[in-house]
Amino acid sequence: MKEARGAHERSATSLSDLQRRSSRREVRPTDQPPEGATHKDAKPVLSFTAKRRGKAPSHLADLDAAGRKQVLKDLGMPGFRADQLSRHYFTHFEADPSNMSDIPAGMREAVSGALLPKLVTKVVSLEADGGRTIKDLWRLYDGAQVESVLMRYPQRTTLCVSSQAGCGMACPFCATGQMGLTRNLSTAEIVDQVREAQASCRDGKLAGGSTALSNVVFMGMGEPLANYKTVVAALHRLIDPAPEGFGMSARNITVSTVGLVPAIKKLAGEGMPVTLAVSLHAPDDDLRDELIPINSRWKVGELLDAARAYFLATGRRVSIEYALIKDMNDQEWRAQLLADELNKRGHGWVHVNPIPLNPTPGSIWTASTRSAQEAFVKRLRDNGIATSIRDTRGSDIDGACGQLATAVADGKRAVGEGRA
Spans of all domains in the chain:
60-116, 119-383
User: Which residue from 69, 85, 238 is spatially nearest to 159, judged by alpha carbons?
Assistant: 238
Q: What DSSP string runs through 165-200?
A: EEESS--TT-TTTTTEEEEEPPHHHHHHHHHHHHHH
Which of these is catalytic: 147, 290, 332, 341?
A: 147
Q: Can you give the pLDDT at residue 151?
A: 97
Residue 29: which residues within 8 A CB-CB, separation 6 or more? 172, 173, 287, 290, 291, 328, 364
User: Which residue from 166, 165, 215, 205 is spatially nearest to 319, judged by alpha carbons?
Assistant: 215
Say whether 36 counts as a known binding-site residue.
no
Q: Can you give the pLDDT at residue 390?
A: 82
Q: Is 337's pLDDT higher than 80?
A: yes
Question: Can 201 be counted among the known catalytic residues?
Answer: no
Say whether 343 counts as a known binding-site residue.
no
Q: How far apart are CA 238 and CA 220, in angstroms?
A: 16
The pTM (predicted TM-score) of the whole model is 0.90
User: Which residue from 214, 307, 217, 221 is spatially nearest to 260, judged by alpha carbons?
Assistant: 307
What residues are paired with 387 via a beta bridge?
A: 352
What residues are paired with 354 via a beta bridge?
A: 322
Q: How far apart are CA 324 and CA 157, in angstroms?
A: 25
> How many CA atoms, within 13 angstroms, populate the side-chain half-sphere of residue 212?
9
Q: Can you give the pLDDT at residue 417?
A: 46
Say whether 280 counts as a known binding-site residue.
yes
Q: Is 382's pLDDT higher than 90?
A: yes
**Would you identify the CATH topology of the domain 119-383?**
TIM Barrel (3.20.20)
Hey, what's the torsion of the CAs at 362, 146, 157, 88, to 10 degrees?
-170
Report the residue count for the chain. Answer: 420
**Would you identify the CATH topology of the domain 60-116?**
DNA polymerase; domain 1 (1.10.150)
Say whether 281 counts as a known binding-site residue.
yes
Q: What are the tens digits of pLDDT across the range 313-325?
A: 999 999 999 999 9
pLDDT band, residue 419 (cuts 50/70/90): very low
Which of these is catalytic: 127, 160, 321, 401?
A: 401
Q: What DSSP string runs through 255-298?
A: EEES--HHHHHHHHTSS--PEEEEE---SSHHHHHHHSGGGGTS
Q: Provide the mean pLDDT of the chain.
A: 90
Say whether 214 counts as a known binding-site residue.
no
Q: What are the tens digits of pLDDT across the range 243-276?
A: 999 999 999 999 999 999 999 999 999 999 999 9
Identity at 56, one-letter amino acid code: A
What residues are paired with 122 via a beta bridge?
A: 138
**DSSP label at residue 21:** H
Say whether 279 counts as a known binding-site residue.
yes
Question: Can 26 be counted among the known catalytic residues?
Answer: no
